[in-house]
């Protein structure tokens, strides 16, 4: 039997929560709430850390130059492959960019990314990816004689790129832990696995999901300034002027030339100077495959939200002063990572006043029978963790806007947390308003629906269309002789349609 549907306001719902538990809820509220003053302090520290990442000395935030030089015009054309190595799926797409401005056609196949692969060997990883590419080509182009197809490979981990078709993995994130890959260029073993199978593919660009998101969204929206992912991991990319990047000074690039920077802001505050970490954040970090890394990401990203919730519940159960799940076997809840972000989403989405759905989920998944006050605590905790995630995310966006002096901007965002977590967008927008002290809307009229000066909005498909666009932009500039971040221009065009069409003589224009 289910109770009545919840009213939008939750005021008064704590009426039957006993005193000790109310006190506990208050303690959690204090711990997980980030007020406006703190949001501003975090943002300001982030602004200086973004700049430090671009400096010659470098900083904690990697600020990786991606060699994606400038925005698309909407006039990009050609046929491209895109490969997205995500956490759960592997996606292969073929994208055609036709003459029509801002248009595209896409065919795609998804392959499951087996969980064992994430902690297996490098050979297994590259072999599996190459098998999927081979299957895709065989299925969609059976019996055809193909030119080498240019590929944009979305590899969403921090990588140092000396060239656009090069990327030394700085460190695995998001729970990946494959030995022998960190510190090495991921492109040669990938290409070797592809060549071994005779797949007609030429890797044109190795890209990050955030850069793909930025470029795909900018393809149809000239206001687009930042690309973000709020999913299993979290991160952002934006366009920087080469003149603002001291660590590239030795390359003598045109100071007005734009280059996309993959911030890798997940690493923000690894030194723990400003983020309000709770004891639970400390445990998440300590028990992760890379302790000390991705401090910001571990407080925000989908991979960690459920785990934080679980750690709090276990801690409360073990605290003799708080009577929660008393006398019950909580062994299922004790399993690390047994709750994921969708579990939290479901709690926040529970439409019933008596939190019936949450009650049933705890019973079926964790074999725990919750009382009404316990359900209220569970619900409030999910709100606190989800709200903190959205508010801290806004600090990163605000920091980039402050650094670049953007008073207005569109920010393209993708990822499961952004797309599916209840209220994430509204909570993030509220935090941006507090940080950036808006008094009027983008159009000078009072703030209201749809006129926030900086708006975080759903992005276009970054790892499909974005990857194809970056491959197209790269080939175009190679043909035009703009060779920043291009290792071997002739090799890049060799065997592709672009070579057959004939290119202007390739000459560096630095």
- Catalytic residues, by residue number, are 156, 171, 209
Residue from 59, 150, 212, 233 in contact with ligand BGC (CB under 6 A): 233
**How, if at all, do strands 224-230 and 201-207 pair?**
unpaired
Which string of DSSP letters, residue by residue, matches 227-247?
A: EEEESSSEEEEEEEEGGG-GG
Q: Are 259 and 66 in contact (CB under 8 A)?
A: yes
* Alpha-carbon distances, residue 349 vs 305, 316, 422 (angstroms): 15, 23, 7
Q: In the complex, what is the shortest distance from the CB of residue 505 to ligand BGC, in angstroms, rounded to a whole number?
A: 36
φ/ψ (deg, to 5) at 280: -75, -35
Backbone φ and ψ for 377, nearest 5 degrees, come out as -65, -45
Candidates 99-107, 151-159, 350-358, 376-384; binding stretch for ligand BGC (CB under 6 A) = 151-159
- Contact flag: residue 84 with ligand BGC (CB under 6 A): no
Q: Pick from 13, 134, 191, 208: which binds ligand BGC (CB under 6 A)?
A: 208
Q: Which residue has the tokens 């197209």?
A: 472
Contact residue for ligand BGC among 178, 218, 229, 242 (CB under 6 A): 229
SS3 400: helix
The residue to which tokens 């990816």 are assigned: 129
Task: Quote the CA–CA distance of 325 and 347 in Å, as a whole number.
Answer: 17
Output the smallest distance, CB 64 to ligand BGC, in A. Answer: 9
- Part of the chain binding ligand BGC (CB under 6 A), chosen from 206-214, 376-384, 387-395, 433-441: 206-214
Continuous H helices in 405-460? 416-420, 424-436
Residue 209 in contact with ligand BGC, rule: CB under 6 A: yes
Any contact of residue 210 with ligand BGC (CB under 6 A)? yes
Q: 28 or 224, CB closer to ligand BGC?
A: 224
Rounded distance between C-alpha atoms, residue 428 and residue 445, angstroms: 21
Residue 302 interacting with ligand BGC (CB under 6 A) = no
**Which residue, 204 or 210, is less far from ligand BGC as judged by CB?**
210
Minimum distance from residue 159 beta carbon to ligand BGC (Å): 8
Q: Return the residue nearest ligand BGC (CB atom).
A: 233
**Considering only 205-213, 417-425, 450-458, 463-471, which stretch makes contact with ligand BGC by CB under 6 A?**
205-213
Q: Which of 94, 165, 297, 452 binds ligand BGC (CB under 6 A)?
A: 297
- Residue 158 is a binding residue for ligand BGC (CB under 6 A): yes
DSSP-assigned states of every residue in 147-200:
PPEEEEEEE-S-EE-SSTT--EE----TT---TT-TTSBSHHHHHHHHHHTT--
Q: Are 214 and 224 in contact (CB under 8 A)?
A: yes
Q: Between 295 and 314, name the residue whose CB sits nearer to ligand BGC.
A: 295
CB half-sphere exposure, 133, CA atoms < 13 A = 30
Q: Work out whether 489 is an interface residue with ligand BGC (CB under 6 A).
A: no
Instruction: Please give the size of the binding site for ligand BGC, defined by CB under 6 A.
Output: 16
Rule CB under 6 A: which residues touch ligand BGC? 156-158, 173-174, 208-210, 229, 231, 233-235, 264, 266, 297
């Amino acid at each position: 039997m289910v109770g009545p549907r919840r009213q939008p306001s939750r005021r008064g719902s704590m009426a039957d929560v006993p005193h000790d538990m109310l006190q506990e809820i208050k303690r959690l509220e204090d711990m997980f709430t980030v007020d406006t003053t703190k949001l501003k302090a975090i943002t300001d520290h982030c602004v200086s850390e973004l700049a430090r990442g671009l400096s010659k000395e470098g900083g904690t935030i990697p600020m990786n130059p991606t060699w994606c030089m400038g925005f698309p015009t909407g006039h990009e054309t050609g046929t491209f492959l895109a490969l997205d190595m995500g956490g759960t799926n592997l996606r292969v797409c073929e994208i055609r960019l036709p003459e029509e401005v801002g248009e595209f056609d896409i065919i795609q196949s998804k392959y499951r990314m087996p969980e064992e692969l994430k902690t297996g060997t490098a050979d297994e990883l590259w072999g599996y990816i190459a098998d999927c590419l081979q299957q895709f080509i065989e299925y969609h182009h059976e019996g055809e004689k193909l030119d080498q197809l240019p590929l944009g490979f979305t590899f969403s981990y921090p990588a140092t790129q000396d060239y656009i078709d090069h990327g030394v993995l700085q460190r695995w994130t998001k729970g990946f832990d494959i030995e022998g890959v960190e510190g090495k260029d991921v492109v040669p073993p990938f290409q070797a696995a592809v060549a071994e199978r005779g797949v007609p593919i030429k890797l044109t660009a190795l890209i990050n999901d955030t850069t793909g998101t930025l470029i795909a969204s900018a393809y149809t929206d000239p206001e687009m300034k930042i690309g973000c992912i709020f999913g299993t991991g979290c991160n952002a990319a934006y366009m920087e002027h080469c003149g603002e990047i001291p660590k590239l000074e030795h390359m003598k690039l045109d100071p007005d030339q734009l280059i996309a920077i993959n911030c890798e802001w997940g690493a923000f505050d690894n030194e723990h100077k400003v983020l309000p970490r709770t004891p639970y954040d400390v445990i998440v970090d300590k028990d992760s495959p890379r302790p000390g890394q991705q401090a910001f990401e571990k407080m925000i990203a989908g991979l960690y939200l459920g785990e934080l919730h679980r750690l709090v519940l276990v801690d409360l159960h073990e605290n003799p002063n708080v009577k929660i799940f008393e006398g019950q076997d909580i062994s299922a809840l004790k399993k690390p990572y047994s709750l994921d972000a969708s579990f939290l989403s479901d709690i926040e989405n529970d439409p019933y006043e008596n939190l019936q759905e949450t009650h049933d989920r705890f019973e079926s998944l964790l074999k725990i029978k919750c009382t009404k006050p316990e359900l209220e605590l569970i619900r409030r905790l999910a709100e606190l963790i989800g709200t903190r995630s959205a508010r801290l995310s806004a600090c990163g966006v605000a920091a980039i806007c402050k650094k670049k002096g953007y008073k207005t901007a569109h920010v393209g965002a993708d990822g499961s947390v952004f797309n599916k977590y209840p209220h994430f967008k509204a909570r993030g927008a509220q935090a941006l308003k507090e940080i950036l002290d808006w008094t009027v809307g983008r159009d000078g009229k009072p703030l209201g629906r749809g006129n926030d000066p900086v708006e975080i909005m759903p992005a276009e498909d970054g790892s499909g269309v974005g990857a194809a666009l970056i491959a197209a932009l790269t080939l175009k500039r190679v043909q035009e002789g703009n060779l920043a971040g291009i290792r071997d221009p002739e090799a890049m065009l060799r065997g592709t349609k672009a070579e057959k069409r004939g290119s202007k003589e390739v000459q560096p224009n630095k």
